[in-house]
Structure 1
Amino acid sequence: MWRFSCNVLALAIGLALMFGAAILVQRAAPPTPFALLFTMPDGTPCSRPCLFGARVGEMSYQEALALLDQHPLTRDLVRRRRVSTAAMLYEGLELIVEVQADAWDNLVQISLHIEPTYTQRLRLQGEPLEALPHALLRSGTMGETVAAIGVPDYVRLDGGRELRLYYQFDGLTFYFARRNERLNPTDTLTSIYMYAVPFPESSSLLRWSGFTSSERYYSRLASRSR
């Protein structure tokens, strides 16, 4: 009996140590590339939703470039200035980030593009892709977005295979490719835009109702209009 009690005690201690170590490993695990989108260059979370530590409307264009030059997601990408507009591109094989300024050197927009049809529009014709580095961030999902930023204010369900999540007062819009007629946590991210001015409400924007069918979103809209 004494030996059995000792064995039980040893097992309990072993399990406690094992689970304690697992918790410590989990806590010490580095953030995912997607989570790094919303942190400062040193990895500390932004006090308000940001992109690469930058907040549009709260800093200059040059201050934003300084942050992206240090941020782990963009510092190793190829920089290219756009001649036609006051903008800087950070390019990788899987990713393009565009930072735009106005005539007074204010930061007015940051956009991120992952989906190839978006990135091709921004690349130079004949640009040698083999010269570009691989990006640390190569994908994202709707589930990751909601987990990182919280539930959006609005959803826009465009015809076809695209939908958008709007965070109105944070100036953030996320674009996703839809797999079917539902909003799925696994729907893949294609682009992110951050603007300085909150967008106005419109009839095409639907209040967030969770990961559910398009039919449910439209039925709520119909019930409100009666």
Structure 2
Amino acid sequence: MKRVKYLLFGLFVFLIFGGQLSAAASEKPAVDTALPSWMAPNNVLNLDWVVTPAAVWPGYGGGSDVAVIHYVKDDDENYYHTSTVRDILIRHGYSVYHWDAYYHGSRGDSIWNYYNMFNGRAVNIFYYYGHTAKITPSTEVNGFIILQNPNYGDTARVFWDRITQRAEFHNALIFVLGCDSFKLKSGAVYRTYIGTDRSIGVELIKSKGTTFWKKLDEGKTAYQAMESIQPNFWERLTHRYWARFKIDGDKDWRL
């Protein structure tokens, strides 16, 4: 009888760790490499900051509060959920602007259009989801992707500095759902910041992001919504790239 128990236990361990290794082999983290945007789009440093018609899908909902959704695509994993988040925010009275880093990469002045999107706005929500970036020559995650075609971005400090020169963020919830994103708050202005403490698998982004915003829609606080998407036992056991979420600032922020 003991031998049967040991055999069953051994089979259980094999199935668990075999599944973990199999899942890990097919996973990838939400991180990419980007060139700095001051080299783009024509390898010329642009300091004019001329306001041009922004290449964005702007202002859905028409509310007085402003929300920005920044989506960075993955070629293999479909974690798109912008429309779900947008609809929630519109119901709560937000004017929603969203940026598709892949789509807008074909436009010549996209980087400048991106930053111009923030001109004179009081931003209450900034949601970035998808790949974060290693801005060359850095070997660590230290920035954000603005364009994917071509692949340009900015370090976190440059990114936040350019945005906060143009927009008011003191009451904002910033949620960055991508690899190592909690440390990307360096230089940001916010009321509440939520990010990950390590790499996260791209296959987790849609479920985590959707759940977070649905919890806020139900009236939960930012902290409660964040806790609802912390990795569970099974995710920790079977995913190579899993991350815990961390919060800084006002934990009681609500939609």
Question: Same fold by TM-score, threshold 0.5 exceeded?
Answer: no
* Greater Cα radius of gyration, structure 1 or 2: 1
Superposition TM-score, scaled by structure 2 size: 0.27
